[in-house]
Amino acid sequence: MKAFSPSSFIGKGFRRIRKLRQLTDRLINSDRAIVPRGSAVYEPNYETINFIKRTECRHIAEIGIFKGFTSMEFAKFLNGEGELHLFDYEDSVRSVATALEHAGFRNVRVFGSSYKLLDSYNWSLAKLLDKNAEPIYDYVFIDGAHSWAVDALTAFLADRMLKVGGYLDFDDYDWTFCGSPSANPTVFPLTRKLYTAEQIASKQVKMIVDLLIKRDPRYRSRAKVDEVPMLGSTYSVAGIGVGSTKGTAAR
Ligand SMILES: C[S@@+](CC[C@H](N)C(=O)[O-])C[C@H]1O[C@@H](n2cnc3c(N)ncnc32)[C@H](O)[C@@H]1O
């Protein structure tokens, strides 16, 4: 006899609702159908938050916010100083902005994208780049699409907007589409239409970090930066810029 477990029962219920909503998106031909419903994120990214607490960063961008678990911790860390910029789809940024406002945080700006197939936060970043001739961020946390197609450009744009001594932080270093509970082709068939089998099996965040950031002499990995008490700035070796990369385990 199978033992009754309330959590597995609730989990099953959520998965069913998610499946149903996904199916409805497809049936009504909604633009929303291009994105999987749900995510395996239930809490803030503590590694990121523990790290940033050891810095003086005051201008932070979080790219991909989901329910705002980490956004709330960034806002608490800033405690009204500087600015927190949040990037995601329009409905996500609106609801997280409301929650942050209710919590008393007024130093938050949000940048929403549509659900058009080729739209993303890269468009919002381009507009910000247009308005700011100088880099504006101390810290950019990239935790969005997790694909080379989107986030290789995000890394490039973030680099342009990162101040000397700032940090680039990539979540989900080992993440793959095939290993994702919400985006694998069995539960989300569009993945198979958008990507080749090789791309579905590849660690695309790792590719971005390894090929674009680690090879760039202006960047130092966080581990190295951690070895000195003055985070970041003491590593401005070439005088061009400095940052750090971090690849956390898949969540
Ligand atoms: C893993 S979740 C972010 C989790 C969040 N950083 C946290 O720590 O709680 C990824 C987010 O990226 C967003 N995203 C993915 N592709 C996107 C795109 N093309 N445009 C805008 N947002 C996107 C998703 O909507 C989702 O909310």
Band of pLDDT at residue 246, cut at 50, 70 and 90: very low
Any idea which fold 40-237 has? Rossmann fold (3.40.50)
> How many angstroms is it from 4 CA to the middle of ligand 1?
34
Nearest Cα residue to atom 15 of ligand 1: 145
131-180 pLDDT, tens digit per residue, is 999 999 999 999 999 999 999 999 999 999 999 889 898 888 889 999 99
Q: Is pLDDT at 224 greater than 60 in this prediction?
A: no
CA dihedral 183, 222, 78, 134 (to 10 degrees): -90
> How many angstroms is it from 51 CA to the middle of ligand 1?
21
Whether 41 and 64 have beta carbons less than 8 Å apart is answered as: no
pLDDT at 89: 98
Please give the model's pTM, rounded to 2 decimal places. Answer: 0.85
Closest CA to 154 of 44, 39, 61, 72: 61
Q: Residues lining ligand 1, judged by CB closer than 6 Å?
A: 35, 39, 41, 45, 62, 64-66, 69-70, 88-89, 92, 113, 120-121, 143-145, 150
Ligand 1 mutation target, pool 39, 71, 119, 148, most atoms within 8 A of CB: 39
Closest CA to 156 of 125, 112, 197, 111: 125
